[in-house]
Amino acid sequence: MRRPAPRRGVGGGGGNGSARAVAFAWLVALAACGKAPAPDTGPHVSAVPLTRVAVEEPDDDVQVVSGKGHVEPEVVEAAIAPRRDQLTACYLQRVGKRRWLGGHLVLRWEVAADGAIDKVLLAENDLGAWPVERCLLALARDISFGAPIGGGPAEVVLPLAFSGKGSPGLWDDERSSKAVGTQLAKLDACARGKPAMPDDVVITIYVGRRGKALSVGFASAVSVLEDDWAACAEKAILAWHLPDPKGQVTKLAVRYRPR
């Protein structure tokens, strides 16, 4: 398993339908909010989103969602714009002293033909901070886009990027798997009494002094992440014993119940 990274294209639905999508990337850099860049102060959220418009033959800078229906870019922007400050505040208000927290996320809405939101997925994520991720998901679940054009379902994709101070060391797949070992199976207990267990969950963990887990985050492109399951899993992982990175903050990723 390789360390997760956002894909350049996100697909879904039947390829014979009209291909349209829109995605925004909001970049977070370390600077005083609303002031000139200052690397040693708090994080700053870009006020202007980068808009990516879908094309039939995507290049490296475009994300495309295919399906029988589509949502117009201006509809997506109108739905997300009122939440913009709240979405960025999810990170700014929760990063605290953990200035090393950083990574990419992809929120994905699956929109039914009648406009109902079937699923909101944290489809990709290597931020590794469940409190931030939970906040983003809560806001995303409250956003709707109306009925897609074309009479069929559609998807809307929102990539977000957050930059922390410095670059934590990254553990490779072999070291990550060995470090976690059999502890991963203990997360099954968090799904007891529930109709289904989450599948193919990428778990990102920051490891600090003496092998202490400092922060944990989750992503799954196939399973809706229930808040209570993630809270239980986060608590369990923060109690894990991991190898000591010798005075550094390091970052690893493992897959739970891979497909």
- At 45 the pLDDT is 32
In this structure, are 149 and 175 located in the same domain?
no
- CB distance 133 to 101 below 8 Å: no
Residue corresponding to tokens 């350049």:
8
| CA 53 – CA 217 distance, rounded (Å) | 29
Q: Are residues 73 and 116 in the same domain?
A: yes
Please report whether residue 4 resides in a domain: no
Boundary of a domain, candidates 117, 138, 162: 162
In a domain, 240, yes or no: yes
207 and 158, same domain (yes or no): no
Specify if 12 maps to a domain: no
Is the residue at 142 inside a domain?
Answer: yes
Could you give the CA distance from residue 41 to residue 49 in angstroms, rounded to a whole number?
22
Same domain, 237 and 202: yes
CA atoms of 7 and 76, how far apart (whole Å): 21
Asked whether residue 104 falls in the same domain as residue 205, the answer is: no
pLDDT at 194: 82
In a domain, 93, yes or no: yes
Helix axes 130-140, 84-92, angle to 10 degrees: 170
On whether both 56 and 96 belong to a single domain, the answer is yes
136 lies in the same domain as 59: yes
Is the CB of residue 33 less than 8 Å from the CB of residue 43? yes
Both 78 and 194 in one domain: the answer is: no
What is the per-residue burial (b if ≥16 Cβ within 10 Å, else e) of 104-122? bbbbbbbbebeeebeebbb
The confidence score (pLDDT) of residue 67 equals 54
HEC string for 51-68: EEECCCCCCCCCCCCECC
State whether 153 and 179 are in the same domain.
no
pLDDT at residue 153 in the model: 93
Domain count, the chain: 2
Domain that holds residue 230: 169-256
User: Which residue, 162, 189, 218, sits at the end of a domain?
Assistant: 162
Measuring CA to CA, how many Å separate 79 from each of 19, 73, 141, 144? Answer: 20, 10, 12, 7
User: pLDDT value at position 65?
Assistant: 52
Predicted structure pTM score: 0.75
Domain boundary pick from 110, 128, 162: 162
Q: Say which amino acid occupies 151.
A: G
The answer to whether residues 210 and 122 belong to one domain is no
Task: Profile the chain (259 residues) by mean pLDDT over runs of 10 residues.
Answer: 39 36 37 31 31 32 55 91 91 90 94 95 96 96 94 92 85 94 94 89 96 97 95 97 92 95
Q: Cβ-count burial of 85 within 10 angstroms (0-12 exposed, 13-18 middle, 19+ buried)?
A: exposed
C-alpha count within 13 angstroms, C-beta hemisphere, residue 223: 22
Residues 28 and 146 both lie in one domain? yes
